[in-house]
Amino acid sequence: MPRSGQATRARIVAAASTLFYRDGIRAVSVDAVADKAGVTKRTLYYHFASKDDLIAAYLDARDQPNLALFRRWFEETGGGVAAKVRGIFRSLAASARHPKWRGCGFLRTSAELANMPGHPAIRIGAAHKKKFEHWMGAVFAAEGIAAPALLARQIVLLLDGSFAAVLLHRDAAYMEAAGDAAFVLITSALAGRVGQRRRGRRLDTTASNGVEVRGIR
Amino acid sequence: MPRSGQATRARIVAAASTLFYRDGIRAVSVDAVADKAGVTKRTLYYHFASKDDLIAAYLDARDQPNLALFRRWFEETGGGVAAKVRGIFRSLAASARHPKWRGCGFLRTSAELANMPGHPAIRIGAAHKKKFEHWMGAVFAAEGIAAPALLARQIVLLLDGSFAAVLLHRDAAYMEAAGDAAFVLITSALAGRVGQRRRGRRLDTTASNGVEVRGIR
DNA sequence: GTCTATAAGCCGATAGAC
DNA sequence: GTCTATCGGCTTATAGAC
């Protein structure tokens, strides 16, 4: 008796996520994903037009959970905005020390598919990082920082740099250093604010979508 | 009549470098490298024990030229050390706007081989980045900065972050933003120096190994 | 040191039954 | 919607001649 089509599709995406993240896109065959999901390849190709389509679905499923976790880490950290952003990096460092951690799935995919610039998965990854950047920018704007977008971009650069460096060196201390740099940059920008602190509308940064998150990839 | 073994080997590495950098490690077959080098696969396997061996040789060949180019960009930029480091990022941004630019070969390889942590190519990449980090640290130490190693690491994080972000978004403006962040961090560290400026032994940072460089990968 | 030829198996994707 | 079976091509690596 056939199961629900949506449930089968979800199992395939979950299997793909595990394998693609663990071993890399091109190192994982469609056969391996189908085996892991407990379906035949024919069924997989019923739900996905191609392997590229499956890759895109893998990253799309990580978008919201990752963003929710970043927001949670920010909220859970005490202190001012500089300390809260540093808290993101410290939480990330803790998750990067897990043996199954393999860097950022979005960045690794864009590195692996660098010869396919318009690939759907790369667009999804770019959009994901932009969402983080815009969220940071809104946070800084609410603090009255003069150039919030530039500062947000620099935080993203430190974040992506720490993903890359920790993956290369397998040393989560790079993330702590990135958090310290973020703290300095934000503090420096706050010191340069003009006039009184603006009390713009507060962003709702609480993460409560019920997704079970195991760590940023 | 057989050519010099060394020259053949060099042609194979050059072909591998072009293809691995352009398309990615796992997307390029040994056949394709042999074809591009104008040798048979059997000859390639005479010079290299395996594809993994060839991957390592590809990155090893990029180590010194890349470092030399970083040093040249630093030297060629006027102003203080903060401006000179920012000059590296600006030069990098210019090279990243070239249509054939595909990010950093070291970082892309470590992303692609994330499931093989002890791979020789990853060790070579890690050593390469460490050399850059140590060079930066020595530069900052000579300037009398209090925590030169931490600052050097933060510059590396911005550098690697800009490689990753520009590859993902195909927007070299991220490198300019990274250079601005580096400028702020270095200036901030210089302002915190204690006492008089140390006049340590000068580093010879001139690049003159005669390697023809076309840009950082 | 370089060649031709081939092993032995995996790749993404599909045909057609039910 | 899921299955069995398979296509044609590509994969890393090797055997043996010269």
As a whole number of angstroms, the distance between CA A108 and CA A159 comes to: 14
> Are residues A97 and A176 both part of a single domain?
yes
Residue B216 lies inside a defined structural domain of this protein: no
Question: Are B174 and B165 in contact, with CB atoms under 8 Å apart?
Answer: yes
Q: How far is CA A126 from CA A156, B10, B54, B105, B171, in A?
A: 12, 37, 31, 20, 11
> Are residues A187 and A88 both part of a single domain?
yes
Residue B57 lies inside a defined structural domain of this protein: no
pLDDT score for A209 = 32
* Average pLDDT of chain B to the nearest whole number: 90
Asked if B121 reaches chain A (Cβ–Cβ under 8 Å), the answer is: no
Residues whose CB falls within 8 Å of the CB of residue B8, separated by 6 or more in sequence, listed in order: B37, B39, B43, B47
Residue A53, Cβ density class (10 Å: 0-12 exposed, 13-18 middle, ≥19 buried)? middle
Closest CA to A160 of A120, A207, A122, A108: A108
CA A170 to chain CA centroid, nearest Å? 18
- DSSP category for residue B134: H
As a whole number of angstroms, the distance between CA B159 and CA B132 comes to: 10
In this complex, do A164 and B165 lie within 8 Å of one another by their Cβ atoms?
A: no
Residue A87 lies inside a defined structural domain of this protein: yes
Distance measured from the CA of protein residue B148 to the C1' of nucleotide C11, in angstroms: 50
Structure confidence by residue, pLDDT tens digits, B105-154: 999 999 999 999 999 999 999 999 999 999 999 999 999 999 999 999 99
Residue A30 lies inside a defined structural domain of this protein: yes
> Are residues A74 and A41 both part of a single domain?
no
Q: Which domain covers residue B89, as residue numbers? A: 62-208
- Residue B28: CATH number of its domain: 1.10.10.60
Angle between helices B148-169 and B173-191 (to 10 degrees): 170
Q: Which nucleotides of C are covered by protein (CB under 7 A)?
A: 1-6, 10-16
Give which of A130, A156, A157, A169 to mutate to test B binding, by max B Cβ within 10 Å.
Answer: A157
Structure confidence by residue, pLDDT tens digits, B4-56: 567 899 999 999 999 999 999 999 999 999 999 999 999 999 999 999 999 99
> Are residues A28 and A75 both part of a single domain?
no
Mean pLDDT, range B158-176, rounded to an integer: 98
> Are residues B22 and B107 both part of a single domain?
no
> Are residues B66 and B163 both part of a single domain?
yes
Asked if A98 reaches chain B (Cβ–Cβ under 8 Å), the answer is: no
pLDDT score for A73 = 98
Residue B214 lies inside a defined structural domain of this protein: no
Q: Which helix (H) or strand (E) holds A156?
A: helix A148-169
End-to-end C-alpha distance for chain A, whole angstroms: 36
- Domain tally, chain A: 2
Structure confidence by residue, pLDDT tens digits, A127-136: 999 999 999 9
Please tell me the pTM assigned to this model.
0.91
> Are residues B110 and B199 both part of a single domain?
yes
pLDDT score for B58 = 97
Asked if B102 reaches chain A (Cβ–Cβ under 8 Å), the answer is: yes
> Are residues B69 and B119 both part of a single domain?
yes
- Residue A200: CATH number of its domain: 1.10.357.10
Which residues surround strand C, with CB < 7 Å? A 28-32, 41-42, 45, 50-52; B 2-6, 8, 39-43, 46-47
> Are residues A1 and A66 both part of a single domain?
no
Residue A135 lies inside a defined structural domain of this protein: yes
pLDDT score for A210 = 29
* Average pLDDT of chain A to the nearest whole number: 90
> Tokens 């040994």 — which residue?
B30
Residue A216 lies inside a defined structural domain of this protein: no
Neighbours of B34 (CB within 10 A): 19
Asked if B30 reaches chain A (Cβ–Cβ under 8 Å), the answer is: no
> Are residues B7 and B110 both part of a single domain?
no
Closest CA to B156 of B89, B213, B99, B216: B89
Residue A213 lies inside a defined structural domain of this protein: no
Distance measured from the CA of protein residue A30 to the C1' of nucleotide C10, in angstroms: 11
pLDDT score for B211 = 28
Closest CA to A17 of A112, A109, A113: A109
Residue B130 to chain A, least CA–CA distance (Å)? 9
> Are residues A4 and A97 both part of a single domain?
no
- For C15, nearest residue by CA–C1' is A42
> Are residues A155 and A184 both part of a single domain?
yes
DSSP reduced 3-state for A69? helix
Structure confidence by residue, pLDDT tens digits, A59-91: 999 999 999 999 999 999 999 999 999 999 999
The residue with greater pLDDT, A211 or B50, is B50
Give which of B26, B92, B167, B168 to mutate to test A binding, by max A Cβ within 10 Å.
Answer: B168
- Residue A42 pLDDT more than 90? yes
Residue A81 to chain B, least CA–CA distance (Å)? 18
